[in-house]
């Protein structure tokens, strides 16, 4: 068994910490450039209408790339200095470069989306395109599409199942899912960078725990990406935390989602990684009726500020009763019965109006807790990300 490459990990950690500091300084330094380029927005939940620079994910993403570009030869130094390796580990090298290509492409396309305001269908296309190199590298490096069947299904499917091309579809979809899942759990200061920070922190802890296991190399590989990601995101989080002086932009959601997909796929722990995404999955499932427009979906679903109290309350989707389909009606009734939705009825003129809270996890938390200050709301949402520590502990 190969020994733990302690030195490369430590070097990576130091470079990442340094990169985090650089990001911390660079973000305020480029503020004016972004505002001049009109890459800025107004915080909808603040009373002041100050312009806040957007797309700051491009800065943390660029620093991430530079850290890793400089890091490329480090895991292989023992092969050059002292010649202590048995033949150059080409496939590991390819994996590193291929992963960087997918992430670099995603940051680029994500930034292009922020600048050009591409349509919704592009939000599905762009991660698929950026994950192509990842799929190609996987194909040429491993090509393994056989999965171990979970115990309950073994009676039907046997011990192993060759998914063939479906495995590649799954990998492609993973990138699309991760990027968009982070993107829709949004709207309050610090939630996007915060959730990514906590997810990467969890993955780092998972990797460290698995370093003593059978798949050490996979987890070392994951650490090489998660450490720089954690520190650059930490710097971004510092500026993005309430009250936000910068917004992360879709660039960051794409960047984060792709980085997680990359480590999950090439580290062969995508199922575990998805467990860290449970709040995002819950939010996604809860959002489905609105995402498919079965329940009308407004442009913004973020919570609304009550200027009088300074607290955030649920935001609502208002529509005419007659515009609602049968399926929509059914969903409303089921959700109300399960106590996960608040519905109000009203009359305006001849039309009967219905309004329900926008179906996001943040609104659901507000439904349970009542109006909450934005900072506290984010502080409550983030630890939800780490509930699984209890799960690990008890299992």
Residues lying near its own copies in the complex (CB under 8 A): 30, 33-34, 36-39, 58, 62, 65-66, 69-70, 72-73, 76, 80, 88, 90-91, 93-94, 97-98, 100-101, 104-105, 107-109, 111-112, 115-118, 129, 132-133, 136-137, 139-140, 143
Provide, rounded to whole angstroms, the least separation between the CB of residue 255 and its own copies: 11
Nearest distance from residue 221's CB to its own copies, in Å?
16
Query: Closest by alpha carbon to 110, among 289, 249, 234?
Result: 249
Q: 248: which 2 tokens?
A: 């992360």
Residue among 137 and 184 whose Cβ is closer to its own copies: 137
Q: Which residues pair with 357 in a beta bridge?
A: 316
Using an 8 Å Cβ cutoff, are 262 and 228 in contact?
Answer: no
Closest CA to 68 of 3, 11, 149, 131: 11
For residue 215, what are its two tokens?
């798949």
Contact present, 23 and 352 (Cβ < 8 Å): no
Q: How far is the CB of 103 from its own copies (least distance, A)?
A: 10
| Least CB distance to its own copies at residue 164 (A) | 14
**For residues 253 and 260, what is the distance between their CA atoms, to the nearest angstrom?**
11
CB of 377 to its own copies, least distance (A): 32
Q: Is the peptide bond before 41 cis (omega within 30 degrees of 0)?
A: no
Length of the chain in terms of residues written: 395
Give me the residue label for tokens 């109000």. 344
């Amino acid at each position: 068994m190969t020994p733990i490459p302690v030195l490369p990990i430590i070097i990576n950690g130091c470079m990442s910490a340094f990169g985090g500091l650089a990001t911390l300084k660079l973000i305020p330094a480029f503020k004016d450039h972004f505002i001049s380029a009109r890459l800025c927005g107004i915080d909808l939940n603040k009373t002041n209408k100050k312009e806040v620079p957007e797309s700051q994910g491009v800065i943390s993403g660029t620093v991430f790339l530079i850290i890793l570009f400089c890091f490329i030869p480090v895991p292989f130094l023992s092969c050059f200095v002292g010649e202590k390796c048995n033949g150059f580990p080409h496939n590991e090298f390819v994996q590193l470069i291929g992963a960087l290509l997918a992430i670099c492409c995603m940051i680029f396309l994500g930034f292009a989306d922020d600048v050009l305001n591409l349509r919704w269908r592009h939000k599905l296309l762009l991660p698929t395109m950026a994950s192509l190199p990842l799929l190609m590298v996987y194909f040429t490096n491993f090509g393994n599409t056989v999965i171990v069947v979970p115990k309950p299904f073994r009676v039907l499917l046997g011990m192993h199942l060759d998914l063939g091309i479906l495995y590649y579809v799954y990998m492609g979809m993973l990138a699309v899912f991760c990027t968009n899942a982070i993107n829709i759990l949004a709207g309050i200061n610090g939630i996007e960078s915060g959730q990514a920070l906590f997810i990467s922190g969890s993955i780092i802890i998972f990797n460290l725990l698995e370093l003593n296991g059978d798949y050490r190399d996979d987890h070392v590989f994951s650490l090489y990406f998660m450490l720089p990601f954690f520190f650059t995101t930490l710097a971004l989080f510092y500026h993005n935390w309430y009250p936000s002086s910068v917004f992360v932009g879709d660039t960051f959601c794409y960047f984060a989602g792709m980085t997680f997909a990359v480590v999950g796929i090439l580290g062969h722990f995508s199922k575990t990684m998805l467990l860290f995404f449970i709040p995002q999955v819950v939010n996604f499932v809860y959002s489905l009726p609105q995402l498919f427009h079965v329940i009308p979906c407004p442009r913004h679903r973020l919570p609304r500020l009550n200027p009088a109290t300074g607290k955030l309350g649920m935001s609502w989707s208002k529509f005419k009763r007659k515009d609602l389909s049968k399926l929509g009606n059914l969903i409303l009734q089921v959700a109300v019965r399960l106590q996960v939705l608040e519905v109000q009825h009203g009359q305006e003129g001849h039309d009967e109006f219905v309004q329900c809270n926008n179906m996001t996890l943040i609104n659901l938390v507000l439904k349970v807790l009542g109006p909450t200050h934005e900072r506290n709301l984010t502080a409550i949402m983030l630890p939800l990300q780490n509930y699984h520590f209890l799960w690990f502990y008890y299992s």
